[in-house]
Amino acid sequence: MNVAAKIRARRAEARTRKAVNRAIDQAATPSMRHELITMAQAHNIWR
């Protein structure tokens, strides 16, 4: 993987992580928040 591809992949991961964190912060109910956290952890997105 070349340098440009690594940078693109890193930025894509950052965008995904930000979107997940935003969804968790805006979850309508605690159970929905918990479900989002569980899914993110299962996919190694949430840290």
Q: How much is the pLDDT for 45? A: 84
User: Could you state, in order of their start, the residue ranges of all structural domains in the chain?
Assistant: 3-42
Left (φ > 0), alpha (ψ -120 to 50) or beta: where does 12 sit? alpha
Name the pTM for this structure.
Answer: 0.79
The tens place of each residue's pLDDT in the chain, 47 residues long, gives 799 999 999 999 999 999 999 999 999 999 999 999 999 999 988 76
Task: Give the C-alpha distances (Å, rounded to integers) separating 41 from 8, 10, 25, 26, 27.
Answer: 22, 18, 15, 18, 16
Q: Give the span between the Cα atoms of 21 and 23, in whole angstroms.
A: 5
- Which pair of tokens denotes residue 3? 């340098």
